[in-house]
Amino acid sequence: MNEAVVSRILAKHQGVARRFKATPCILDDNSATLDGWLRSPSLDNLQELDFAFPPLVSPRPLMPRSALRFSTTLRVAKFGCCQIPGSDVAHQLHFPNLQYLKLGSVTISEDSLHAMLAGCPVLVKFELMYGYEGPPPLMPPSALCFSSTLRVAKFGYCQFPNLVVHTVHFPNLQHLVLEIVTISESSLHAMLSGCPALNSLMLNYSFGFRQFKVNSLKLKRLEMYFSRSDTDRLQELIIENAPCLERLHHRGPYGDKIQISILSAPKLKILGLLNGHIFRFKLGTTIFNGLLDARVETAMRTVKVLAVQLDNHCLDAIVNLMKCFPCLEKLYIETYPMANGNMWLLHSKGLECLDLHLKKLRISYYRGTRSHVEFAKFFLLNARVLDSMVLVVEHGKERGDSWFRNQRRQLKLGKRASIGAQIKFTCDDCFNYLHDIQEFSGTCE
């Protein structure tokens, strides 16, 4: 595919085009080429326009002014790695039917951004993602002046100004994503307070806050991801009042000693990723000082899916969690091949989770050693309604048929508590348990 081919297709196309997308590998840094394509009569009344220039080109190419000829018909506009024309065309930045606007690594003045957003009266989804070159810029105040129609917003690689965040209000925003942003603790809380309709919040590798208290009447989904390089990353998460929260996911760097308190989340269904290095986990009146040290006093029966990350195969920790979450249906365990854990328990019988509910189990980093076999056997011999057990073996290791036959023999499949339980070996080790869950999927993707 090259410039000549695209030009020939547009010249010969007899139908009506509704969507046009041009990727960086085709555009290169030639703004004039794109300008010529967008003037093609076959693109009249275009509804979706998506283009991006190569990210490393400096200075960024100017967005062709021919793109503005679709302003009255566009419903989706995605502009990447370009310069948006200045104030001289601000009066043309009016998109009466635009529902989704994405600006990725663009150079745009405050006046032009203000004019563009003011000219989108029915905007539903807005994304503003800055480039990764240089220090993160300050979020323009106009980017936070949402219309009442906005439902979804995503911001990336920028700094949130404290004063502006404390004064804005997002009355109908339902889904918010902050990706690699710097935001203070007070600003994060102010933003959440200013989103009364929010039901989904994702914090991806963002920092500047050490404590996060959740008080949200409609929030259903909270996902957070942190890396070791994040400075001032989250140290304490407190779910104070979240009556609608169904999904709570936190994943930090290995060995991260976070404190998590779930004080009120009566509808919580999905919980992860509980780390064996967790400094403190409070569930009602039950307090875990590490997953091994707990006197279980509170049972949360709403939780159906649990994901755990451990250093070794420690059944004590798993049994403690099954007592706290007696109605678990799906259990995902990620273990690192370190020291062996304890293999058997004197008080493992009579667990409601094993007797009545646990149907699906996935164990990552299965190596087939004695400790691993005994760990898997515990569930096979005790989980009475188990449907499937997935054992993730080390990727890249040579595993012949004899190895798998030997593993099945050691697992003593004939003595399963659940006759219908199926065992599957796989090398697919993405351990993204959220992608494996269908019945609890969110509605704001």
Structure confidence by residue, pLDDT tens digits, 31-54: 899 999 999 999 999 999 999 999
Q: Is the pLDDT reported for residue 86 higher than 80?
A: no
| pLDDT tier for residue 387 given thresholds of 50, 70 and 90 | very high
Q: Is the pLDDT reported for residue 251 higher than 60?
A: yes
For residue 28, the model assigns a pLDDT of 79
For residue 105, the model assigns a pLDDT of 94
C-alpha–C-alpha distance, residues 273 and 362, integer Å? 14
For residue 230, the model assigns a pLDDT of 62
Name, in order, each residue with C-beta under 8 angstroms of 211's C-beta and a sequence gap of 6 or more. 185, 234, 235, 236, 237, 238
For residue 442, the model assigns a pLDDT of 41
How many C-beta atoms lie closer than 10 Å to residue 202's C-beta? 18
C-alpha–C-alpha distance, residues 393 and 423, integer Å? 13
Greater confidence, 384 or 164? 384
Q: Is the pLDDT reported for residue 338 higher than 70?
A: no
| pLDDT tier for residue 441 given thresholds of 50, 70 and 90 | very low
In one-letter notation, the amino acid at residue 424 is K
How many C-beta atoms lie closer than 10 Å to residue 110's C-beta? 12
User: SS3 for 379-430, per residue?
Assistant: HHHHCCCCCEEEEEECCCCCCCHHHHHHHHHHCCHHHCCCCCCEEEEECCCC
| Structure-block tokens of residue 400 | 């012949």
C-alpha–C-alpha distance, residues 394 and 363, integer Å? 11
Pairing of strands 48-52, 76-80: parallel
Greater confidence, 2 or 245? 245
For residue 46, the model assigns a pLDDT of 96
Q: Is the pLDDT reported for residue 267 higher than 70?
A: yes
For residue 211, the model assigns a pLDDT of 95
| pLDDT tier for residue 396 given thresholds of 50, 70 and 90 | low
Q: Is the pLDDT reported for residue 357 higher than 60?
A: yes
- 224 pairs with which residues across the strands? 203, 250
Mean pLDDT score, 60-84: 94
Instruction: Express each pLDDT in 135-178 by its tens digit.
Output: 889 998 888 887 789 999 999 999 998 877 777 888 999 999 99
Residue whose tokens read 């929260």: 245
Strand, coil or helix: what is 203?
strand
Mean pLDDT of the chain: 87
